[in-house]
Structure 1
Amino acid sequence: MHLLVRENRTLDEQEVAEDLNLPSADLVVLSFTESDLLALRHAEALLRAQTEEGILLPTLQVTSLARLRHPMSIDLYIDTTLQKARCVVVRLLGGLDYWRYGAEELAAWSRETGVPLVLLPGDTLQSHGSDVQQQAAHTGDDGRLAQLSTVSAEHYARLNGFFQQGGPDNICAALALMSALAGMQEDKGTQPKALPTWGVYRSYAPTITMAQAQIKAVILLYRAHLLIGDVAGPECLAEELAQRGCAVDIVYVTSLKDPSVAKDVSHYLQSTKPDVVLDATCFSARSQSGFSPLDVADAPILQLLQPGCTQVLWEESPRGLARADMAMQVVLPELDGTIATFPISFRKDAQPGHPAFREPYKPGIKLVAGRAIAWAKLRKIPQSEKKISLILSDYPGAGLEKSGAHIAHAVGLDGFASTSSILTLLHNAGYNTGAKDVPDAKVLASTLIGGYSKPVLDTKLYRQLLAGLAPAFVQSVCAAWGEPEQDANVKNGVFCLRYIQLGNISLAVQPDRGAAADRKALYHDPDTPPCHAYVAFYLWLRHVKKLDAMVHLGTHGTLEWLPGKAVALSPSCGPAVLTGDLPVIYPFIVNNPGEAAAARRRLGAVIIGHMTPPVMQAELSADAQELERLIDEYAEADGLDPRRGALLRADILDKAVRTGVLAESGVRPGELDEAEALARLDAYLCDVKDLQIRDGLHVFGKPAAHSKKLVQIIAQACERQEDTVFVTDVAHKIMQSGKAEAQALLAALNGRFVTPGPAGAPTRGRVDVLPTGRNLFTVDPRALPTPSAMVLAEKMEKLLLTRHLQEQGEHLTHMVMDMWGSASLRTGGEDMALALRLMGVEVQRTSGTGHVCGFEIIPLPLLDRPRVDVTLRVSGLFRDAFVDQIALFDQAVAAVAERNEPAEWNPLAASVKGLEGEARKRATARIFGAAAGNYGTGVEERLNTGSWDTKQELGTAWLEGSSWTYGGGREGQQDMQALSNLVGQAEAVLHVQDNAETDILESPDIAAHEGGLSAAAATLGATPTVLHGDTSRPDMPRLRTAEQEVARIVRGRLANPQWIKGMQQHGYAGAAEMARGLDALHGFAATLPQRFDRQFDLVFDQTLGNAACDEFLKQENPAAREAIRMRFVDAWRRGLWHPRGNSVACVLDEENKA
């Protein structure tokens, strides 16, 4: 019998190996927590001060485990620093699985040398009565650490108690016990002393009187930090708030997860009633039951950031935070509904492996204080006096050629109808909205379209205000755009921008970031600073209009994509410079977690999730309905009347050819026998008919329209169609969503707490995202890919490999996947799970938390197929949000490449065979994307502006814009040749769509990614199959070619009279959606090798070729109509579309008519 060995790897192996070369000592303590190490040094100093001169104390070495992640680093540490050690204590935050290699190697070393080893859980204790030893036994550890330790249970419990309780006396006693275990002194049997688990450390009285009622602020911090005196940042912040007129309490806690502490803090906040809470603790305080002690304050919770690095390292980092800080201080606290802020302290510079105290960061403290007071003031200002601005985007999608076609664009939202709804909401709540009657959507649209602008800020005042901004930001703006007077929006020395003033409410259109010709290119580009008009817009809102809060309406604008760090922004980062103290409230579609997270973290915004558009079943077009009727007739005749059946079959196929439906089904005439062709045609018609399409758009704060179909989809996704209680509950939550959205907006504007809630796609069965109207958070990326994602990926894996084998006659060995951040957050990492499974890799997890901690390689006999060499093209959001997943995949690639397996079974290993050093590192690069800090592919702007002549130009643009490598320490090194080699040998490329709320023609972005990749392959002489995965029903994944998917969506939605009817209900916004869909179709026609003449015909027939629809476009959004006309003209002139008849030319040739 032969045992198949599975090769296991941990993620710690991705770290860079280093030799700390620290001197050995009698007592050695290692911990992930700096406060542990500082407390030990402080206790050591106390003991030395209390010891008579001449008496030798045990020597002590303390080391940060953050520097001992790589196995080689651990081996070197054991060989050097532990050489003379007589007792070793390790405190592991998160348990054994977070440092398994080190713990197991130390255990083996301890048993070999006889040196006592104590492995303690680093997690904070939970209160269990008054007995300290009993408390120490309930720290959440699974017992494996104690089993690996080599001391008695009594000694183990006492040491654990000393560290859990903390404080000078307990830590001194811990050192004494360690000395006893080392045989250097007697054990006096000292027991841990219980300390208060929470309390008010210090109160600060305001030093000035505020204009409004006094603001009460509460700062929360860890007791462990207080006990060692490492609280300079929070203390400095408290002093700053007091100097600005706030009363401040600093409250210390062991952990807000401790039920006893949570209960007491909850009562304290209830009685104190603070106006704002500033939280310097980490992780989430929310219990499994959903309770958080912070909720009861009903006040904004600002998350304070204290990076575990020096200021210099932070300044050099484009990300802003390391992975651990990101998880502990940003992602997990978001579960509590926190508002992102700025760093208030950094570690002092120290030698490698040594602990260091924090020092305050004054610029960040001033920013946090200003923002905290601004949020708190919303609780004090009467509604009738509050000054609010509603910001509408002018998205560079449909209608770029003619301005005004897509004002107030927001994904899934009717922007102008939602604006009117919000104005009505504010009016009824007592806000001053000017006239008695709130303008409706049509009036608002007609007022703001057509480039209508008003003078807002003269250049003299602008220069004065500009001089007060961060010098680095000002210099970048002037270097990129010259003098303010040169700005195109300046007329007679005054900036002119589009806005309407309605009482105290400013309704304004967000200006372009730069030149109109570059709008799409600049939309997601964080490298180019905004132009002067853009800066003037926000300075005008803050200093002239003197806003109290800003509401950015819908997904999404450009403010969050300005230059700067991804998170933990500096005072020079674009979003921080322009928002200043201003509270930002951001209604955002609930199914877009990635971009919502970017807005939340870079703007400090409260993200209010709103419902997706209503859905309906796609109805077949008239010619498709006729085919369906004939097929049903054929089914009845077949077997009963063979002659009639044969005639019907021929008639059906002839009609299917003439209408183009047969080609849409993936069948070419004569390719299959008639029976098989008919079966494919029937399946395609069913596929189109089953398509779920949007039935209009959502209006913020209004009850979801036509929700019955969505309820059915959710119940089906959850396999609970027959559960009437469940169905009723889902229907109720959907109907409550509009009201919840309105209440959340009012709560945020009143400076009250907005309940947090998850983001996700309702049509995937995500009942937990309902009702909407909650402050959106995302999943913890450390758990991705999730177990369910791995299971679902297995289904897609089988579908993909089987299809390729059947169609190509050989196994798939090389492919490229287009991977997006928001989709990964929605699905729990299904795309990454699929990529790993294709390589023959499975992930490993920590016990308890379920975090991914490593992987194992499946042996070929078990895999029973060749491994696939997978290349990832990741989006900018994926690159920023999934650092661990990039490291995981890169490490898996390296491990698979090391396998000694036949070339035909492991093409990845074969491709790097014989290479060493830098050549091997370059050859194993499999993760590519845009340059660090950049977003997009480089194709979007060319498609949008028409600045291209050949498909080869688009392919080259994709390669140039995607050629930066990531993982393995590369972090954005450009290697276009490596990417070209991999794309050139790909047999298939894949993009997966994970929900029914969007589709391939939702926006031109998918064409730029998926189509751009196809064009790149064609440029290199390759012809991979371009596949579009559909996992909107996770139980039934589907795989179609991009050509088939485009055809299906055109017939099922874009050219579907029912969809057009739904869009017409939304006037201006609906017309813009039609133009946007055509942009996407044009993008695919420009990038894919196939032709889409029939699809252009279908869309033309239902829009400009349809008198009623054409009149609708002329009346509701003439700019969108012109954009549609010009897009058709462009497709015609470039040869992308050969129209069926001459009548098309008559409609399109309006320029010559004029």
Structure 2
Amino acid sequence: MILFVTTADTDLLTADRALAGLPADFPEVTAFNPANLSGDGEQQAILDAAAKADVVVLRLLGGKRAMPEVFDPLVRLCHEKGTPLIACPGHQEWDQELVTACNVPPSELDTVFSYLIRGGVTNFQNLFLFLSDSYLGSEYGHEAPAEVPWEGVYHPDEPDGMDAQDFVRRRFQPGRPSVAVLFYRAHWMSGNLQTIDALVRRLEELGANVLPVYSFSLKHNPEGDGQLNRTFSEILCDSNGDARVHLIVNTMGMSMTDLHQDGATFATGPQVDYLDKLNVPIIQGIFSTGKETDWEESSLGLGPIDTAMSVALPEFDGRIITVPISFKEEVSSESNGRHGKMDARLQRNLPRPDRIDFLARLSVKWAALRLKPNSEKRIAIILSNYPTKDARVGNAVGLDTPASVINILNALKNDGYHVTDIPVDGDELVHRIIERCSNDTDTLTEEQLRLAVGHVSAKQYQEWFGAMPQKVQDELTEAWGEPPGQVYRTGDSLAIAGIDLGNVFVGLQPPRGFGENPIAIYHSPDLPPTHHYVAYYRWVRDVFKADAMVHVGKHGTMEWLPGKGIGLSNACYPEVTLEDVPLFYPFIINNPGEGAQAKRRAHATIIDHLIPPMTTADSYGDIARLEQLMDEHYQCQTLDPAKLPILEGQIWDMVRQADLDRDLGVDEQPEDFGGFILHIDGYLCELKDAQIKDGLHTLGEVPQGEQMTGLLSALTRLDTGAIPSLRRSLAEAMGLDYTSLLDEPALPAPEPVPAALAGGDGTPVRTQGDLLERLEELSRSAYTLLDAGGFKSEGVAGTVERLLGSKDAQTSHVLNFVTDTLHPALLRTTDEIGNLLRGLNGEFVPAGPSGAPTRGMANILPTGRNFYSVDPKTIPSPTAWDMGVGLADALLQVYLEEEGGYPEMVGLVIWGTSAMRTHGDDIAQVFSLLGVKPVWQQESRRVTGLEVIPLADLGRPRIDVTVRISGFFRDAFPNLIDLIDEAVQLVASLDESPEDNMIVKHLMEDRASDLADGLGAGPADSESDPALYRIFGSKPGTYGAGILAAIDERNWETVQDLAEVYTAWGGYAYTRQDFGVQARDQFRRRFGQIVVAVKNQDNREHDIFDSDDYMQYHGGMIATV
């Protein structure tokens, strides 16, 4: 018997077809895909089959990790029994671990690998014949491995082997949108083509020319010659290197680029430049590895594997994420068991017609952007307006949206769009919108509703409503009454807020609905949008007839509407509203999580924009006056000591007036006043050195003057990869210990003070904090000097000598990085408008990294790109682990100092965008508190498991942790939910005392409490024991914490009311087994144990006043505790 184990279902399909054509007396063949087996019993089936086999062939994508429970026992079994074992990788490169496991001659291993890698029915038939002849003693005879095309053109109506040029000449019609469809060669070889055929047919029905192309891989050239994959160099492009199509629909997973971490995660390699040169948008059509019924029933949508392989990693190529168009379904064997049993779960990809229709319609609309003249295009620009007050029109984090819209309008007009009556500035734009018709019911009049720019009649909406899925109709009717509802209704129609500027509509995103149904805040986090909300977007699509839409700034409400997290259905509200309109979304670069939400739930193309200009807080008011008094005190110590008591009294009065006594932890005037002044000085220096925003960014505008120098100083304050901090370089050039300056600013300044920092204004340098302040001034001076010279690298040497009085290689290195790389990147801020215009022209918007530039990530610039985030399986990274350990240690140290012991339970708010930005600092902090550590796979840096840190090494008890995750974190990182839950279960299972292990302590207390209440002890060994729920979040398919809606609508009276809302919205538990189960009682129990409530702030580019989320998530946690 031949045992064939492969991780590719297409191999099983090919093997099944191959077996159907072999002689009737051919030996038995048993085949498995370990990914389709679950539980120890089914995995054991592979070992049972191996015990009976005459030869075992493995083809494993991912090596031995593809079947970790079975691989080593299988190898031992084969070696002990002398059964030939041939282990091959699932890709072209040899896996040394697999080679080592083999026990056959290298020549035979090479032959089997050649059959497998070339693939196809004929090669698989000869593979089985070769195995039978070589190891079972038959004499069937077999052919050598045959060459099969690595890539090529396929069409259901055309013969295989057509040349791309001949195909285009034969089938393409001029003037039509042209779309390439990319799919895996394995589907072509195995005949697994129903989904591709269905997609090709639907695109052609919509009037598109279609070029279907199969390929072994987008990343690697199978010929191994180091050249670009022939799929791109010869099939998608003509002999001149020009693209044959206007758009690519790609169904292949992974990224075609190389990924590496340098602070942020970067996509690199020749493919990056090629995609930009090809200049064709790429839409991702998802082939799910799951079953259609599972997807239909899931609130998450796609599982962790699909999310990583078909969403997160493709984003590194700049692909536009859409929906699953195909699912795995079990099919019967073509060989009918003639030659042994195939895997009982033989699976084929079958099409989902409504998702194929959506993808095809979106693709044709995208391709049409390339063909339609700009003068005829109609563009809708949507401003966020949440809460729905006139004062909040166009609110967005870090962006002056009204001024940005004016820049967009002028750019559109200059690019040939029909734009009329452009407002003079942002203020005029906002006032014209408000005067015409706004969302603010406090000021809105019936006349404004009647005079709105557009209306949707009840009859029109009823037609749209009747075409929606029945589930949507039922939910809208239940929540908002019979269509068209009463929200923003005037007479028999619904009003549309905005203004008409020719072929451009500037509108306000409609109200979400909680203001119109306040009681829903307490019980309905999954409240659907109003009839008016849906009608608004349908009006934009079908009445205004927008060719594309632009949402301006972080962030609106549409991408957060109820529905599946990733991989939406036609009953998910982001799709119900937006439908198939191409969406562009200018979004701040430091918020990859919430931007990814729009990419993944609203097929958005992000145009990332620069952070606001940055400066330092400096001093003013009472603080400035206090500094003046401290300077007088310093001078009087030597010139007029008699005045010291008077000055000390004035200083103490000013400290109390500014409430600094509370900040400094001092109740009465200290006796050692000289030491106290040093303490004040160090503290004030820290305050003054804090980075703060210096206004807002305007889309496409390069910072100028002081804002440029201030931003450069902020961007180079920390090391960026191998580029050292400028302040560190300057300090070390003068012999100062920069780390000591940062860690202990209150210490007296070392003597003598370097001449470059002494200053000429007579202000004393008392402390190390004063030196930090002077270093900041010196770094700004460097950029002022370079600015005066046009930021030329030739001016670096002179600038360094002028600042330091001598040459310094490290400081020159930093400034050369600024002149050669960083400043040019900031000059490309104009790409924010340029790439938006490229996108609206149906061109490719280049992909780029994301993160907080001032957090040692200045190398992620320039902006204007379709940002990507992280490989979710690399979180937490080793660097994040170090940071997380430091966060945990610092938290425990503060608590120990203030409370005299360790906290039993820490509450932690975790956001998906922070996890992306930091590569998992928060997750690492959770693990460190629990006393477990991630295990990384060395080559890929992916997390493969956890290990317990011994108590002796930990040096303290294990701290219990309860986390409140955001809805986006739930959708983007199901793997991290599993990992945190695994950590909790692991720590709970340890044989440790309750004094050393707080999870064990709380588990014992819960069991005792339940027994006393007559509830029973519960399943002590169950992995889904509610007593071990530690991860809570929003109801599946919903987002948010609910607090803002309650506050904005004044729908609360006490803190208890807010806690009730927080519990109603967040009381859903997440584990490996229980995904979003209602668990409010456990939520209250866990929150009742929290003694420290934490939300980490990982950068200075925004603060708690920039976003309501801090108040909602962290404030809500505090209120609930």
- Tell me whether the two structures share a fold, i.e. TM-score over 0.5: yes
Query: What's the counterpart of residue 270 of structure 1?
Result: 237
**Matched letter for residue 712 of structure 1:** S
Comparing 890-899 with 724-733, greater Cα deviation is found at 724-733
Tell whether 2:1103 aligns with 1:1003. no
CA contact (8 A) 1:27 1:85 kept: yes
Pick from 811, 819, 830: which aligns with 2:910?
Answer: 819
AA of the residue aligned to 1:917: P
Matches within 5 A, 1:61-76: 61-68=30-37, 72-73=40-41, 76=44
Q: Deviations over 1:606-636 (max 9, x none)?
A: 1110111111111222101122233344455
Q: What does residue 571 of structure 2 align with?
A: 572
Q: 1:643 deviation in Å?
A: 6.7
State the partner residue of 2:992. 901
Q: 2:944 aligns with which of 853, 874, 880?
A: 853
> 2:18: which partner in 1?
43
Equivalent of residue 801 in structure 1, options 869, 886, 892: 892
**How much is the aligned-residue C-alpha RMSD, in angstroms?**
2.9
Aligned counterparts of 1:854 and 1:485: Cα–Cα separation in 2: 52
Q: Give the direction of change, closer, same or farther, for the CA distance of 1:880–1:524 in structure 2 (3 Å limit).
A: farther
Shift in CA distance, 466/485, structure 1 to aligned 2, threshold 3 Å: closer
**What are the equivalent positions in structure 2 for 1:124-203 lying under 5 Å apart?**
125=92, 139=93, 141=95, 143-180=96-133, 182-185=135-138, 191-202=144-155
Deviation at 1:406, TM superposition (A): 0.5
Distance 1:600 1:213, change over 3 A: same
1:422 is matched with 408
CA gap of 1:212–1:532, structure 2 versus 1, over 3 A, is farther
Paired amino acid for 2:132: S
Larger deviation, residues 323-332 vs 457-466: 457-466
Cα distance in 1 for residues equivalent to 2:1057 and 2:676: 37
Change (3 A) 1:295 1:199: farther
Q: 1:792 aligns with which of 856, 860, 883?
A: 883
Deviates more, 1:328-337 or 1:347-356: 347-356
**Inter-partner Cα distance in structure 2 for 1:241 and 1:660:** 68
Match of 2:271 among 279, 283, 291: 291
Deviations 1:325-367 (A, max 9, x none): 1111111111111112222222223598612112222111111
Query: Distance between the aligned counterparts of 1:333 and 1:739, measured in 2?
Result: 26
| Contact kept? 1:624, 1:661, Cα under 8 Å | no
Matched residue, 1:970: 1074
The Cα shift of 1:970 comes to: 1.3
Shift of 1:963: 2.1
Shift in Å at residue 959 of structure 1? 3.2
**Partner of 1:151: helix, strand, or coil?**
coil
Residues 458 and 633 (structure 1), Cα distance of their counterparts in 2 relative to 1, 3 Å cut: same
Stretches of structure 1 lacking an aligned partner (at least 5 in a row): 1-25, 126-138, 1018-1154
Q: Do 1:610 and 1:737's aligned partners in 2 also have CA atoms closer than 8 Å?
A: no
1:71-98 deviations in Å (ceiling 9; x for gaps): x357633564444233332322223344
After superposition, residues 243-642 of structure 1 pair within 5 angstroms as 243-259=205-221, 260=223, 262-268=228-234, 269-271=236-238, 272-287=243-258, 288-292=268-272, 294-349=275-330, 354-396=345-387, 403-435=389-421, 438-449=423-434, 451=438, 452-453=448-449, 454=452, 455-514=454-513, 516-517=515-516, 527-635=526-634
Provide the C-alpha distance between the structure 2 equivalents of 1:282 and 1:524, rounded to a whole number of angstroms.
39
Q: Is contact 2:480-2:531 (8 Å) kept?
A: yes
Contact 1:476/1:529, CA 8 A, preserved across alignment: yes
**Which residue does the alignment assign to 2:710?**
709
Native 8 Å contact 1:782 1:851 kept in 2:
yes
| Counterpart residue identity of residue 232, structure 2 | S
Are 2:102 and 1:103 aligned? no
Deviations 1:755-804 (A, max 9, x none): 01122111112234311000111111111001111122222233222222
Q: What residue identity is the alignment partner of 1:967?
A: T
| Whole-angstrom distance in 2 between the partners of 1:41 and 1:886 | 38
CA deviations over 1:196-224 (Å, ceiling 9, x no partner) = 11111238799999999222211111111
Corresponding letter in the other structure for 1:902 = S
- The 8 Å contact of residues 513 and 523 in structure 1, kept in 2 or not, is answered as no
For 1:740-779, what aligned pairs fall within 5 Å after superposition?
Answer: 740-779=831-870
Greater mean deviation of Cα atoms: 978-987 or 697-706: 978-987
Instruction: Number of aligned residue pairs: give it.
Output: 964
1:620-663: per-residue Cα shift (whole Å, max 9, x none)? 22101122233344455569987755554443223211232322
Match runs of 1:916-995 below 5 Å: 917=1019, 921-995=1025-1099
Sort the Cα spacing of 1:423 and 1:209 in 2 relative to 1 into closer, same or farther, 3 A.
farther
Partner Cα distance (2:392, 2:275) in 1: 41
- Paired residues of 1:87 and 1:182 also in contact (CA < 8 A): yes
Question: Which residues of structure 2 form unaligned runs of 5+?
Answer: 158-166, 259-267, 333-342, 439-447, 727-810, 1008-1016
Give the alignment's TM-score, normalised by structure 1: 0.79
Whole-Å separation in 1 of the counterparts to 2:140 and 2:952? 57
Letter in 1 for 2:300: R
Q: Is the Cα contact below 8 Å between 1:279 and 1:301 reproduced in 2?
A: yes
Separation in structure 1 between the aligned mates of residue 279 and residue 518 of structure 2, nearest angstrom:
40
SS of alignment partner, residue 271 of structure 2 = coil
Q: Deviations over 1:932-982 (max 9, x none)?
A: 122222323223333222223323433343221111311112223323333
The DSSP-based 3-state class of the residue aligned with 1:832 is helix
1:882 aligns with 2:882: no
1:220-274 deviation digits (Å, cap 9, x = unpaired): 1111110010011111111122222222111111111123584422223231520
Identity of aligned residues (%): 34
By how many angstroms is 1:542 displaced?
Answer: 1.5
2:381 aligned partner, one-letter code: L
Work out whether residues 887 and 967 of structure 1, in 8 Å CA contact, stay in contact via their aligned partners in 2.
Answer: yes
Further displaced range: 226-235 or 537-546: 537-546
Alpha-carbon distance in structure 2 between the residues aligned to 1:724 and 1:1011: 42
Write out per-residue CA displacement over residues 993-1035 of structure 1, whole angstroms, 9 at most, x where no aligned residue: 1111111222232122222222222xxxxxxxxxxxxxxxxxx
Instruction: Give the CA deviation at 1:100.
Output: 3.3
1:216 is matched with 178
One-letter amino acid matched to 1:37: L
What's 1:91 paired with?
A: 59
Aligned mates of 1:520, 1:174 — CA distance in 2: 67
Q: Tell me if the contact between 1:458 and 1:494 (Cα under 8 Å) persists in the aligned partners.
A: yes
Could you tell me how far 1:479 is from its partner in structure 2? 2.2
Q: 1:207 to 1:257 in 2, by over 3 A?
A: closer
Shift of 1:521: 7.6
Q: Please state how far the C-alpha of 1:751 moved relative to its aligned partner.
A: 0.4
Q: State the distance in 2 between where 1:701 and 1:854 align.
A: 44
Q: 1:300 to 1:639 in 2, by over 3 A?
A: same
- Give the 3-state SS of the residue equivalent to 1:854 in structure 2: strand
* 2:1116 match: 1012
Change in CA separation of 1:844 and 1:97 when aligned onto 2, cut-off 3 Å: farther
The 8 Å contact of residues 786 and 829 in structure 1, kept in 2 or not, is answered as yes
Alignment partners' CA distance in 2, 1:919 and 1:99: 26
1 CA distance for matches of 2:666 and 2:1081? Answer: 37
Pair 1:766–1:203, CA change in 2 (3 A): farther
Are the structure 2 counterparts of residues 439 and 857 from structure 1 closer, same or farther at C-alpha, using a change threshold of 3 Å?
same
Quote the Cα distance in structure 1 between the aligned partners of 2:1091 and 2:110: 59
**What does residue 118 of structure 1 align with?**
86
> Contact 2:1068–2:1076 at 8 Å: present in 1 too?
yes
TM (norm. structure 2) is 0.82
